[in-house]
Amino acid sequence: MKTALTIAGSDSSGGAGIQADLKTFTAHKVYGMSVITAITAQNTCGVTDVHDVPVEIVKKQMDAVYTDIVPDGVKIGMLSSPKLILAVAEKLQEYQAEKIVLDTVMISKSGFDLLKPEAVNTLRSELLKLAYVITPNIPEAERLSGIKIETKEDMLKAAKALEAYTDGYILIKGGHLKDTADDLLYDHGKADWFLSERVDTKNTHGTGCTLSSAIASNLVLGYSPFEAVKRAKEYVTRAMSTGLSLGHGAGPLNHMV
Ligand SMILES: Nc1ncnc2c1ncn2[C@@H]1O[C@H](COP(=O)(O)OP(=O)(O)OP(=O)(O)O)[C@@H](O)[C@H]1O
Ligand SMILES: [Mg+2]
């Protein structure tokens, strides 16, 4: 069985973070493992608090995983502080981790800061260079590239600017566009668009986590980055479209679709 690791925060409501990632790995028949970086108190209505896991415990979780069941691929989500980012970067290099999908999480869907503002530079300089695929949403791509994004042409400009920080594939997600949900995959001058109508639903909790862990799943299953993104986007769109409606706010996806 192929194996994957998620390095991310816990979402008590089960729709995003570690929980969404493990459900997604399982739905892809991939064996999932987790390094928890933060415990969030949250539900479909919002995040009420965050407790960062001490850096030493994060490092020991990484050691425990990599000295036993070596993951075939990794998805990285919430890492809130510079010291956590540096610790994870160091361990990924120590263990020569492969197929790293970096979801550059900054702000929760409900508007809660998940990345301390002073950590943005550390994320950009220390982690982007280790990634095989990065998956910023539009506000994150703006923040990382310094380019304001209003149109799909702006997405392309931002992707080109991000090439200065990574040799990996750059996926700028279009979930925050107005009319469509088109995602851009950029690879050394080559742009591929994954076009999609917007699904008319308020239940979009964890779309970003689910997409990135589905990409990691498909990569460990042997698909190319292009195919992995294509299949992951189809999975997220389907998981968003089943009419599952849980909770009082932005409900979770149906990972078992
Ligand atoms: N309403 C929608 N209809 C169709 N696809 C969507 C919709 N919203 C988001 N997506 C898709 O979901 C995926 C995740 O993108 P999104 O921009 O929502 O990420 P995100 O902002 O990081 O999410 P999160 O808030 O969970 O971190 C992308 O493939 C995007 O195109
Ligand atoms: Mg996100």
- The C-alpha atoms of residue 200 and residue 53 are separated, in whole angstroms, by 36
What is the value of pTM for the model shown? Answer: 0.98
Are 59 and 91 within 8 A, CB to CB? yes
Catalytic positions, written as ranges: 173, 204, 206-209
pLDDT at 109 (0 to 100): 79
Closest CA to 21 of 60, 71, 66: 71
Give the max Cα distance, the chain.
47
Q: Which domains does the chain have, with CATH numbers?
A: 3-240 (3.40.1190.20)
**Residue 198 Cα: closest atom of ligand 1:** 3
Q: Ligand 1 in contact with 110 (CB < 6 A)?
A: no
Query: What are the pLDDT digits (tens) for 167-178?
Result: 999 999 999 998
Query: What are the pLDDT digits (tens) for 157-167?
Result: 999 999 999 99
